[in-house]
Structure 1
C-alpha cells in the first residue's frame, strides 16, 4: 500500500508493525522526530524519509492554533529553527505564520491559550513576546533560569509572572486542563459565597460594602468597622487588627476584612492538591513550623497544612528588604541561614542572583504593626547601626542582634523583637 503525502515528493510505502526488517526501525519519524521503532509507518527508503502511521494520517498542512490569530502552514523540509512558541530548538517540519514571521513546532500549535498552575494564583496566558520587558532576558518564575523576552512563554500580566512553556506545562505543576477568564471568575465568586453570607450592605464612597455578614467560622453576625481596635488580634491570621475589619458585638471575635473574604479553596506553590480553609483547632504550619490556632489551609487528602500568612506567600516575592526577586522553595536538601533572624531552615525564599534567603517566618512579617508598649505604628526595620550598648528590646529587655530584623518607632526610639510583638508578649 502506498500513500502520496504532501510532505514528500515520492510515494510512501506502508510498513506493518510486524515487519522487523525495514529501515524504519533505525530512524526517526520526520513528523514528530520520535524513533519509529516497531510502530507501523509510511516510508521512502530511497530518501530515508519515514512517518509514523499516526503522523502521516493526522499531520495537516494548515492548523489554526488557540494561541495565535492567524493559521499556521506546515513547512515540510529539513530546517533548523528556534520555536517562537516555546523557545526550544527544532530541526524539521515546522509550522509557519507568514503574516507574523512566526515559526513553531507542530506540537506547539496545540498549546492552550490559558492555563492554571499550582505555582501561581492567577491564570497564565500564552504569549509570543514579553512586550513590557525591560531587558532581553529575565528569570523563569519556576526554574529561575534565563527566559528570553523574544520567545513564547506563559505569562500573568497582573503580576508580571512569566515561565518557560516546558516549565509551566510540567505534569507536577499543571494538570492538563484549561480554563478561560470567565470560568475562573465564576469559580472565585463561588468560593467566596461559600464562606460568607451578606446580611446587610451599605454604600461607602462609590462602593457597596457588606455591613453585616455571617461567616462560616463564627456563630454570630459580624459587623463591619473602619475604625481602630486597640490591643485586638485577628482570629484568622493572628496579626493585630487594623481597619477595615469585622467584629462580633456579642463576643471578642475579630477578622480583618481580607481574612473574612478568603476563598474556600486555594493552591500552594509546592503542594499538588487543593487546600481547603479551616477555622478549628491548633495545628503546626508545614512552612514556618509555628503552631497556630487561627485559620489554616489544609489538604483533605494528606496532613499538609499552612497558616494564613504562609499560604499567602506568592511564588515570586518582591520584598523591601532586598533589591532582587525572591523565589519560594520547599523541602530543600540543606539548611539555609535566614537574613532576617539568623535561623537555619530548609523552607523559604531565596534570591537566585546573590543567595539572599528569608525563612517563612520573616518573609510573612507585616511591614507595620501595633503593640501596647507604644501608641504609634511600629515599622519593620532591617538593619541597625546604633551604639552596641543600645541594642536592647524594650519589651523583654534582652539584647538584640544588630543584623537581625526588629520593629521600631522613630518618634519614641522604641525597638522590639518581632517575637515580642507577635509571640511571647503580644
Structure 2
C-alpha cells in the first residue's frame, strides 16, 4: 500500500520497540487485523510534501576514507586561516618537520607507482592496506584528486588528477603526510564543543616504536600512532586530528530527515537532554558517551566518533572485489536475520554495519579493526630489529597468519605485535614492549 493511501484514512504514530529504537506503526481500516509497517527507505518514509533545501557549505557524512585528508582535515586547516597550497613548497626540496627525524620532501602523484612497486609483500597480510600510501598524520590513504599546483617547479604535473603529498626524503623510510596534515597549526586556542576547559591545545605525535605510550583519543576512544592535539593544562585530554577536524554542523545520511542539519554539542549538553542513545548503536562499538551531533527538530543523536566512520571499507580477507558500504538500516534491501561474518554474532539489522549486498556479507564496525575498529588510528608497517630476540628484521603488524606468540606462547590471534614473514616468527605486543623498554629494539628506516 502506498504511504499516501495509508494515511488518507489511517493513523500513523511512532512507538518504541523491544530494543528501545523507534518504529513507525500504521492502523488502517482496510486491514484492521494487523498493524502495517513501513518497508521503504526511511528517507522516503519521512519525506514531506514541502521541498526543504539544504544550507550550502555544510559537509555531508559519511565521507570516503580517501577524502579525509583534503575534505575533512583540509577544510579544518583552512578554517584556522592556514594556506594548504603548495606555492610555498618546491618539488623535491627537503624541509624540516618537527615530528619526524628526517627531512620531508614535496612529491607528486607520478611517484606513486614507484612506491607501490616497492611495497609488495611476500606474505598475505590482511592487517595492512597495500597499494596505498597511508598518511602518518591522520592514518588514512593519500589518494585525493587535487588540482595541479601553480608552482613554477611543477610543470611536469599538468594532469587535472595530479596531487601532491609530503614524504620522507630517505627513500627507505615510509613516512608520508597529506599536505593538509603537514600544514596543521601547531596550536589551537581551544575546542569548546569537545573539551570542556578553555585551554589551548598543542599538536603532538606519538613514538612509532613505543605503542604503549600512544595517546588515547578522548573522543573516539581509540589509540592513535599519528598526530593529535593535547591539552596544554589537562594531561588526560587528547584528541586525534580527525576528531579535532570535525565541523560544528554536518548533514548525515543516516538521519531519517536528511535535510535537517546536526549540530555538535558537548557531552554535558547532550546528557542534559535526558537521552544520549546513539543512532549507531555504539554500545557495540564500546566507545561510551562523548560529544555528539544532535538534531534540534527531533531526538536524533550520533556520537562524533561514529559520525566520522568512513563511508566504505575494504577487506582483502573477506571481499577482494567489492567495497563494504556503511549501512544504516539493512532491512531496507534484505529481510531476515543478520550475522557478522567475522565474530559470527547476531546483529541488529538497524544498527550500523559494513555490508556487501552482492556477496551478502556483513560486519560490525568494530570487527573491521584497522578501518573502523580499535586500530583504525594506527599505522602498521614500522620495521625494527630486536636484539637477542630474532635474527631478522621484524614488522609491527597484526597477527593474522598464526595464533600464538613465539615468546610467551599465549594466543594472540588478531592482536598486534612484531612479525617476521620469512620465518613466520611473532612477538606479541606485550613481550615486544618489554624488550623495547629494556632498550633492545631499534627502528629500521
Q: TM-score, normalised by structure 1?
A: 0.47
Structure number with larger C-alpha Rg: 1
Whose RCO is larger (CA < 8 A, sep 6+)?
Answer: 2
Give the structure with the larger strand fraction: 1
